[in-house]
Amino acid sequence: MIYNLISKFIVVFLVFGINLSLNSNNCYINSITVDQNNKIVAGGFYNAADSSNFGSNVNFAIARYNADGTLDMTFNPTGGQPGIVTTAISVGTNQANNIDQSNSIINGIAIDSQNRIVAAGYLEQIESLITTTGSSTMNYFAVARYNEDGSLDATFNPTGLISGVPGIALTNIASSDIATSLVLDANDNIIVAGYTYNTNNASTEVAIVKYLESGILDSTFNPTGLNSGQAGVVVTNATANPNETFSGLLNIANSVTLDSHNRILIGGYADINTEVEILVIRYNSDGSIDTTFNPTGLNSGFPGAVITTLSDDYSAYITGSAIKTETIDAVEKIIVVGTASIRDNNVDTNDVIVVRYNDDGTLDSTFNPGGTINPFTPGIVLTTIETTAGLNVSGFATDLVLDTSDSSNIKTVVSGYTLTTVSLLTALEVQSAIIETEAAAFLTLRYNQDGSLDLTFNAPTGYVITNIENGSNSSGFQSDARANSIVLDQDANIVVGGGALNDSFYNNFAIARYNTDGVLDTTNFNPAGAQPGVVITDINNGIVAQASIFQGSTVPEIPQLGRIDMTPDEIAQISSSFIGFRSPVILSPDPYALLETPEAVVEGTAHPKSIINIVVNDDMHTNVTADYLGNWSVRLNNLSQNRNAIYAFSIDPISKLKFTSNILYLYSANQEQDIGRFELEIISPENNSTLFNNNILITGRGQPDSSIAIFLDDRPLGTIEISDRGVWEYNLSDLSDGNHNFRVNDSLDDGISKNINFVLDTSSAIAPEIIEPENNLHANQDSLIISGIARANSTLTLKINDKNIDNVIVNSRGKWQVKISDFLPGVYKIQAIGKNKTNQTNIYSNIVNITISQEENKRNIDKRHIEVFLNGQHIQNIKSNQENINENSNSLSVNIPQDRIIKTKPESTNELHFLSHGNEDQSYVIGRKTLDLK
């Protein structure tokens, strides 16, 4: 969850304004959950800015932890920091598109039924203005879905609509869109809530976007595009009362949930007569306002919305940070937590506020019954936080989770933080002066079902304050740790995530776990850490160690890390699986761009100094060599007058494997043509296909910004909008087996239509097929990616040399992939085995035979340019004129990032590789060493 009003608009700007500087290591948890394996998944952001990383400053960041608090090395196992994934998101990613900066932040995270990670937040893209001075900013709702291994799920928004990257979906509502929370329904559809800025009335309005499981907008959600202008998106200004001249300036959704009837509830805040109050709105499943919720519009003047205020004794800013529903005695209730900022005698204090509503939107009188607890109003509880020294401090609530282990007393567990203003004596200037700073600490509270504090939780207070130790604080400033999200693990332990400021004034991921009694779990969660019960993760932290490239038999020492073992025979051993050959990627121009002339400049990235082959409409067009940074550019001439399918591929000179880029579609026309017209077409699936999965994504092209009518078996399904790039998608689901016809009509023309026929067969015994690697492959790396196709959503058994190696899950598109490591030299037979859906008998794939060899390859090595890799990821470039290389002793100094070192298990090893460039400008491994850290 994002911060409440006070911290969102003050603290976050402090964090971004001060700490997100160049070359900083700044990361923060905004949302936390637990997956099906009881692993902790934390999402937030990481500041990746540096002078060499143009166009992306703040990235999505996800970390997955084992139950003991260690990073899960099976998550992004070959990444720079196994256990952590960072994703840079941008609509345009190069200088030609004038993108100055792209910031993407996760504010909500969830686990779907297939244990995939769904992350939602927003993209802020800052673009230079060419014709004027200054820059413009455009925000998007951003959603990414990751497979269980941390890779982006390419079946989510598979065409990369708007984002340009399968696995990521972007939605723009207005110029400033912020997604704050998400929830998944029973079908893994994704509902994302937040707010957008309406320039027409200068107000911020609640925004909800619903995506289908496939990653496209749900056209049945607000199908007419009322207020929002697009189906799949809802925009609401709950305080814009048509009977009054006043229009609310703030309508913020901080949290979203679903009730038992699949209705959508948002919790947040709105301004009423210059005061900010808690806002709750309920929507029907189709996106319309549920007018049975507060049907008279009491306080809000808006049926379907509830505004909650405190009594006139308070001048309050009350923000709702999180919302959930609970069932008590078979009656559904709605509970909201937040923060009340109260001014009393010109002193501002902040208290935790908890409000519970009945199903009709009225306050629940069984919560704080009789109004015996502050603020003495049934249905509302205010909690003032007091330290052990008896000092009242400000308390902020950010998230809640329900503990349903005792059905007779469902408890509400709340996360947040305390904030204390501290006076410090400083002598930084000529004269000493008193300055004020703020100290913050994690805060966790637990309430009984009746609204009273549960005094058995961290007895006898009902809440616990935890100072996070993140460095020595030698600078004299106080610790600053703020919890943003809370979850219960499968053992009912309480897991709280947020950020903690370190000595360098940068934030790190911070997680604390408590036992059910409110005491830090120091026994089972990071028990050997600097602060048992708490885990701090600093993304991209580094230490310096010494290593050597040598030709003799001496075994060098690495101070503080142990020994590096390498024999002369290992020198020049080829192992491209460790150096991570980079597949080419096309970055520009934009997908589906319309060109006024039959030529285009195509740019992208690839493995440094690799040869990039460009294919246009299945014909080899040209080739170009990437520079030492991996950048490449090529001008294409004589493009087709209609659609051009362009992709790039390169061959790894070591493994001889082919690496292929994304496909770029461009449309070209002669000047005499009307370049504003596009031919209506259906791109996928192909005509007369046989499909085996009843969740079918239909994609196509058409006239930009127009609408088309769609039909299934001559039955009208409605109309859909074609994007401004001429792309359209439609998701078919729950079809019966048999023959089907899908048709689209151009409603803006004279009845132009296109159609495809397909056969749906979900019951057939579909044999799995291994596509990669090819049969009789001869490879000299010790790991391979094996991929293929099979029946959608099925499970395969992978056998190597007739031994069961792994179980593989086939995705909803019928594709599967697995990486197998540690092959020894030899001959291997690979086969996949599936099950007949009807009788569960085995169905066998084709057999693929491969030969693995690890032959020495003597190359002409140039030590003037050396690249260093740790555990398969690039960590440093070294040139002979740098201080850290010694030509006489063949030794060099290497900066080894500490978080990339695997040291969680005694048997763990770390592999260090040295990559140089031969006389053919190709890349070769010239050294491989093992670091044993025990």
Give the C-alpha separation, 43 to 604, whole Å: 29
H helix count then E strand count, the chain: 3, 64
Spatial contact of 697 and 216, defined as CB atoms under 8 Å apart: yes
pLDDT, residue 48, reads: 58
pLDDT-derived band at 413, boundaries 50, 70, 90: very high
* C-beta neighbour count of 774 within 10 angstroms: 11
- How much is the average pLDDT of 341-354? 72
CB 358 within 8 A of CB 43: no
What domains are there in the chain, each with its CATH number? 387-420+439-541 (no CATH), 585-668 (2.60.40.10), 685-760 (2.60.40.10), 769-852 (2.60.40.10), 866-882+889-931 (no CATH)
CA neighbor of 834 nearest in space, from 855, 808, 813, 812: 808
Q: Tokens 């030794």 correspond to what residue?
A: 891
Q: pLDDT value at position 43? A: 96
Q: What is the pLDDT of residues 378-403, one digit of tens each?
A: 999 999 888 665 567 888 999 999 99
Q: Is the peptide bond before 568 cis (omega within 30 degrees of 0)?
A: no
Mean pLDDT of 82-94: 78
Whole-angstrom Cα Rg for the chain: 29
Q: Cis peptide leading into 527, omega within 30 of 0?
A: no
> What is the average pLDDT value for the chain, to the nearest integer?
75
Task: Tell which residue, 278, 291, 310, has the closest CA to residue 360.
Answer: 291
User: Using CA atoms, how far apart are residues 602 and 587, in angstroms rounded to an integer?
Assistant: 8
Of the listed ranges 227-231, 342-346, 539-543, the least confidently predicted one is 539-543
Beta strands 842-844 and 885-886 are unpaired
What pLDDT shows up at residue 544?
A: 25
- What is the mean predicted confidence (pLDDT) over 103-131? 84
- Residue 364 is given by DSSP the state -
Residue 562 burial class via C-beta count within 10 angstroms: exposed 0-12, middle 13-18, buried 19 and up: middle
User: Is residue 442 within 8 Å of residue 468, measured between CB atoms?
Assistant: yes
Q: Report the pLDDT averaged over residues 146-166.
A: 91
Residue 787 in this model has a pLDDT that exceeds 70: yes
- Lowest mean pLDDT across 165-179, 462-476, 608-622, 830-844: 462-476
Residue 566 above 50 pLDDT?
Answer: no
Match 């940074």 to its residue by tokens: 629
Average pLDDT over residues 713-725: 83
Distance (Å, whole) CA 84 – CA 508: 13
Q: How would you classify the pairing of strands 848-852 and 777-779?
A: parallel
Banded model confidence at residue 728, pLDDT cuts 50, 70, 90 = confident
Maximum Cα–Cα distance across the chain: 88
Rounded Cα distance between 678 and 6, Å, is 50
> How many Å apart are CA 659 and CA 619, to the nearest integer?
17
Mean pLDDT of 15-23: 26
- pLDDT class of 343 with cuts at 50, 70, 90: low
Residue 796: pLDDT above 80?
yes
Rounded Cα–Cα distance for residues 126 and 830 (Å)? 49
* Confidence (pLDDT) at 25: 60
Contact 71, 82 (CB under 8 A): yes
pLDDT surpasses 60 at 923? no
Kindly report the pTM of this predicted structure: 0.58
The residues, ordered by sequence, that sit 6+ positions from 123 with a Cβ below 8 Å of its Cβ are 89, 90, 91, 102, 103, 104, 139, 140, 142, 170
What pLDDT was estimated at residue 619?
A: 79
What pLDDT, on the 0 to 100 scale, is given for residue 505? 64
| 864-877 confidence digits (pLDDT tens) | 456 666 655 566 66
Q: Give 475's contacts (C-beta < 8 A, 6+ positions apart).
A: 503, 505
pLDDT tens digit sequence for 243-297? 333 345 678 899 999 999 999 999 998 876 667 789 999 999 999 999 999 999 8
pLDDT higher at 64 or 752? 64
Give the helix ranges, DSSP H, for 216-374.
none
Q: Closest Cα to residue 444, out of 464, 458, 459, 461?
A: 464
Give 189-239 pLDDT, tens digit per residue: 999 999 998 777 667 899 999 999 999 999 999 999 988 889 999 999 876
Considering 115-119, 265-269, 736-740, the range whose residues carry the highest mean pLDDT is: 115-119
Please name which of 545, 544, 539, 533 lies closest in space to residue 502, comparing C-alpha atoms.
539
Q: Of the candidates 367, 387, 389, 386, which has an alpha carbon nearest to the alpha carbon of residue 378?
A: 367
User: Given strand 681-684, what is the order of strands in its sheet?
Assistant: 681-684, 695-701, 727-733
Distance CA 573, CA 859 (A): 10
Distances (CA, A) of 869 to 85, 278, 631: 18, 52, 20
Strands 753-760 and 777-779: unpaired
Under a CB-based contact definition with an 8 Å cutoff, are residues 208 and 141 in contact? no
792 contacts 761 by C-beta, under 8 angstroms: no
pLDDT higher than 90, residue 530: no
